[in-house]
Amino acid sequence: MAVKKKSAGSAYAAARLQAELGRIPAFEPKKREIGKGEAAPRRKAAKESAAILLENPKTDLPSLKNSLAVKYGIRYLKNSEILPFIPKSNPSLRSLLLKSPTRTLSGVSPIAIMPPPAFCGGRCTYCPKGENAPQSYTGYEPTTMRAIQNAYSALRQVASRLKQYCEQGHGADKCHLIIMGGTFLCVDGKARHLFMKDAFDALNGKKSPSLQSAINANEHAPHRAIGVTFETRPDFGFESHADEMLSMGGTQVELGVQCLSDAVYRKVQRGHTVSDVVRSTKILRNAGFKLTYHMMPGLYSTPEQDISYFRRLFTSQDFQPDMLKIYPALVVQGTVLYNQWKKGEFEPYDTEKAAEVIANAARFIPPYVRIPRIQRDMPSPLISAGVKNSNLRQIVEKKLEERGEKCRCIRCREIGSAVRKRTPLGKLKLSLGRIDYSASGGKEIFLSFEDGEKDLLAAFLRLRIPKQSHRKEIDSVSSIVRELHVYGQEASIGEDNPLKMQHKGLGRKLLAEAERITSGEFSLEKIAVLSGPGARGYYRKFGYSPEGPYMAKKI
């Protein structure tokens, strides 16, 4: 007798019920045990550490923690235990104690979560399908392991990530919610909305009766979603898909493009065409979404072909993504591609060749594009063939440096990059810059505040003059702001920290310039913003009000 497979909807409902009732001991996060009678000494040690650091901030922190651990007979003292004793009026010392400071250097706290495993709509030959993991994931990536640990409950995944940020000293006032794993739009509609409601409920710190009420509540929540990203396929980026993602608070879409060849798509059983990429890109861009492309060098291609793909991405107005994630093709056991590799029918790029291709392609990446990731976050023992170096980006950067070149993507120029590289910032001389380009039949204007001498980017705005958006809110007399971002380490809402670029008026100035361009140069009457639910209050201060999923203003 055939066993009926559970739908994604029933799987999520069951996981959620179990999570609510706490009936999954196997998935309970492992808590660190504190020795009997250790709590009071730890507090004393933390308080004394803070006092010493406040008196002499140059004190060697590891040595200090070790000596106080010995003095009070406790195990190693954590930075997060010292932080509460450091006043907020001393931001430099608080920054020193932050664990994983790069997590929030781009101005927000990313929270990646996954729904339960479900069919993604494709049968790609290179795609790993791990046990109890969403398609295209092995089950051993950090995000996947967190999802499994929390029984794929959105509520628990978000709550545990927030707890982790707070323990590390990050405020997590402003969050970017990222829905990963397969194609979320393939999940049953009811379960999909329930999953998103749970995610917003966790950010809000309270339960709401519906997804829309949870989204509305997030505007004043302790942890506000300033952005919501969905991973999907190019054939799941059409009008109805865009509308659904907007209804769930979406602001950004990551499209699995991989290459620009219909022949390769057929060979890997991708199930869509290049024309689908062009169509979904246009629809999503005209609806106001930010767009990320996933590209896969070495997928039945030569270095010359891959470089031509990157050139075409930014010389043809059909594409022009805002961001790129570059994942060289990998061979993973259990895939069709693995069998082809074993037969000698496929050979992926090794580290050297992949780095060379990406370094050569870097010259075609415009300064208005961000490359958030190079190489998949996958444990190297699971990779049978292909790039096994997790530091592929650094290898590419070294190649460029040896040639006297450098990557000028947004990530490499944002303020946080100087912190990552331990480069002293000094005083910044910021000026307003502008780049105009055509994309998907419309006009794109990239406004930015940059220090030209240091080649550092502090803030930017993406303004679009759209052409034939399917959304009624974006009519023929409207422009749309697709993104407004101020870089530097995340500053809490209302915080005035001299070390952080947020809340310095840069966003306000960029928005005012976008309004001037809209009315003065294009004679349009309205400007709309696709804002994350948690950022709507910011736009209200400048006269914007809700209009469907957008914030809009007559000008």
Question: Where residue 528 sits, what CATH number does that domain have?
Answer: 3.40.630.30
Expressed as residue numbers, the domain containing 349 is: 253-410
What pLDDT is stored for residue 500 in this prediction?
53
Q: Please indicate, yes or no, if residue 421 is contained in any of the structural domains.
A: no
User: Would the pLDDT of 101 be above 80?
Assistant: no
* One domain for residues 315 and 374: yes
What pLDDT is stored for residue 119 in this prediction?
81
DSSP-assigned beta bridge partners for residue 370: 323
* One domain for residues 350 and 483: no
Q: Please indicate, yes or no, if residue 5 is contained in any of the structural domains.
A: no
N-terminal to C-terminal alpha carbon distance within the chain? 66
Which of 181-190, 241-250, 471-480 has the weakest average pLDDT?
A: 181-190
User: Would the pLDDT of 105 be above 70?
Assistant: no
Are the beta carbons of 307 and 357 closer than 8 angstroms?
Answer: yes
What pLDDT is stored for residue 501 in this prediction?
53
Maximum Cα–Cα distance for the chain, whole Å? Answer: 74
What pLDDT is stored for residue 33 in this prediction?
42
pLDDT band at 8 (very low <50, low <70, confident <90, very high): low
pLDDT band at 182 (very low <50, low <70, confident <90, very high): confident
Q: Which of 56, 74, 97 is the last residue in one of the domains?
A: 97
Are the beta carbons of 7 and 127 closer than 8 angstroms?
Answer: no
User: Would the pLDDT of 387 be above 80?
Assistant: yes
User: Would the pLDDT of 213 be above 80?
Assistant: yes
CB atoms within 10 A of CB 209: 8
Q: Please indicate, yes or no, if residue 223 is contained in any of the structural domains.
A: no
d(CA 133, CA 380): 18
What pLDDT is stored for residue 99 in this prediction?
57
Which of 7-21, 91-105, 419-433 has the weakest average pLDDT?
A: 7-21
Number of separate domains in the chain: 3
Q: Rounded mean pLDDT of 351-367?
A: 97
Which of 3-17, 107-121, 384-398, 534-548 has the weakest average pLDDT?
A: 3-17
Q: Please indicate, yes or no, if residue 115 is contained in any of the structural domains.
A: no
Tell me the per-residue pLDDT of 13-49, one tens digit each, with 9 for 90 and over: 555 555 554 433 333 333 444 444 567 888 999 999 9
Q: Say which CATH number the domain at 359 has.
A: 3.30.750.200
* One domain for residues 306 and 435: no
What pLDDT is stored for residue 203 in this prediction?
97
* One domain for residues 395 and 262: yes
Which of 129-133, 239-243, 272-276, 346-350 has the weakest average pLDDT?
A: 129-133
Answer with the residue of higher pLDDT: 107 or 392.
392
* One domain for residues 342 and 491: no
Percent of the chain with pLDDT over 70: 86
Tell me the per-residue pLDDT of 284-323, one tens digit each, with 9 for 90 and over: 999 999 999 999 999 999 999 999 999 999 999 999 999 9
Task: Output b/e per residue, 216-255; b: 16+ Cβ within 10 A.
Answer: bbbbebebbbbbbbbbbbbbbbebebbbbbbebbbbbbbb
What pLDDT is stored for residue 93 in this prediction?
80
Mean predicted lDDT score pLDDT of the chain: 88
What pLDDT is stored for residue 267 in this prediction?
97
* Long-range own/partner contacts, residues 433-436 (CB < 8 A, 24 or more apart): 435/366, 435/367, 435/368
d(CA 300, CA 345): 10
* One domain for residues 457 and 313: no
pLDDT band at 178 (very low <50, low <70, confident <90, very high): very high
* One domain for residues 445 and 358: no
* One domain for residues 366 and 468: no
* One domain for residues 393 and 465: no
Answer with the residue of higher pLDDT: 4 or 215.
215
Answer with the residue of higher pLDDT: 189 or 215.
215
Helix, strand, coil share (%) of the chain residues, nearest 5: 40, 20, 40
What pLDDT is stored for residue 428 in this prediction?
87
Q: Rounded mean pLDDT of 362-374?
A: 97
* One domain for residues 405 and 500: no
* 281 membership: H or E segment, kind and range: helix 274-286
What pLDDT is stored for residue 420 in this prediction?
59
* One domain for residues 441 and 402: no
Q: Please indicate, yes or no, if residue 109 is contained in any of the structural domains.
A: no
Q: Please indicate, yes or no, if residue 151 is contained in any of the structural domains.
A: no
**Residue 275: exposed, middle, or buried by beta-carbon count in 10 A (0-12, 13-18, 19+)?**
exposed
Task: State both tokens at 91.
Answer: 């931001």
Which of 183-192, 250-259, 543-552 has the weakest average pLDDT?
A: 183-192
Are the beta carbons of 466 and 478 closer than 8 angstroms?
Answer: yes
* One domain for residues 387 and 326: yes
Q: Please indicate, yes or no, if residue 129 is contained in any of the structural domains.
A: no
Q: Which of 65, 97, 129 is the last residue in one of the domains?
A: 97
pLDDT band at 257 (very low <50, low <70, confident <90, very high): very high
Q: Rounded mean pLDDT of 58-70?
A: 87
What pLDDT is stored for residue 90 in this prediction?
81
Q: Please indicate, yes or no, if residue 458 is contained in any of the structural domains.
A: yes
What pLDDT is stored for residue 398 in this prediction?
96
Q: Rounded mean pLDDT of 439-445?
A: 98
Q: Which of 97, 128, 145 is the last residue in one of the domains?
A: 97
pLDDT band at 511 (very low <50, low <70, confident <90, very high): very high
pTM as predicted: 0.85
